[in-house]
Structure 1
Amino acid sequence: MTGFYGVYTFLGTFATATFHFNTAQTGVIFITYGSANFIANFLAGKFIALIGKKRSVTINGLASAALVLSLGIWGQHLAILLIILVALALSQGWGVTALTAAIVNIVPSNRSTVMSFNSAFLYYGLTLGSAAGGLLLTKIGFSAVTIVAAVALLSAVLIANALNHYSD
């Protein structure tokens, strides 16, 4: 979540500065992303059942890192930005669902506690990503935000794969 929210928090600022959009035009970018994420969540169960939770988490973490990084490289072109965001939303909608399914099975007898920790760390990641993203955006630029976000997402994949406590 640190990687994702580092980018997501400042996506509107990036779009406004890059494309000289007003608030309504910038909102269309978020509507596009949100719509794709909504669709991904409906399809996620079928994909997770097909390839498994752990593999889904890994594939989507790697895809998210690549897509976030590509925002910093090619995101200055509106059509490409929208394509990347749709792909990112599909990946993350599927990945977050897989991660949640995996997390609840780590300690089945304490699912509520595990999900509470998950929520707490989600918000902690949002806080860290937003703080780091804000510093990077103002000091270096949006590309730096995407690089650090990709590193955070790759780190999360490594950590998730090191946790052998969950399986499909």
Structure 2
Amino acid sequence: MKYLIASLALIASPLAAQDFSEGSNAKSWNLYAEVPAKFDAEVVDVLCTLTGDCPDDCGAGKRQMGLVRSADGVLVLAMKNSQAAFTGAAVELAPFCGQTVTVDGLMLDDPELGANNVYLLQTIQVAGSDPIKANKWTKNWAAEHPDAKGKGPWFRRDPRVNDIIAQDGYLGLGLDVDQTFIDENF
């Protein structure tokens, strides 16, 4: 419980409204409430930070990764990398778990939308090295699923997605409901 209370305080901190745009080279996505943000942060396993469930390997890339900003201790939720799909932040950040890095990207912060400290990661930089583009999720996915080659979006070929659709239908309500929907609408 103490982890949860401390973590909620980190996320809800009034210091979250600080301006971190200075020095940022982030490219705009033209999203409402986006602001360029470059800052130093420790890469953390979010589940570990929130609950205290902390495997040695930070979840082996299977958990959501976050950033505890050095300037104010706020937990920033890294939700995507620089690729078009909302994927990839965990893949990009996992190799740096426990390290302090400099990240550059876009912060979404709008309480009316329920978007607080949501981060779109574009580059990661370890002290003394050049920034690394955060764009390897698709390549990693392709390497993990060599039998899913083909044209079109990755999710149409992902065996995990296709298994769920085969079991529960496209709507997630069962194959019979899917068929009724298709018959009535197409």
Please state which band the TM-score falls in when normalised by the shorter chain. Answer: under 0.3
Larger strand proportion of the pair: 2
TM-score (norm 2): 0.25
Kindly indicate whether structure 1 or structure 2 has the higher relative contact order, using CA contacts under 8 Å at least 6 residues apart.
1
CA radius of gyration, larger in: 2
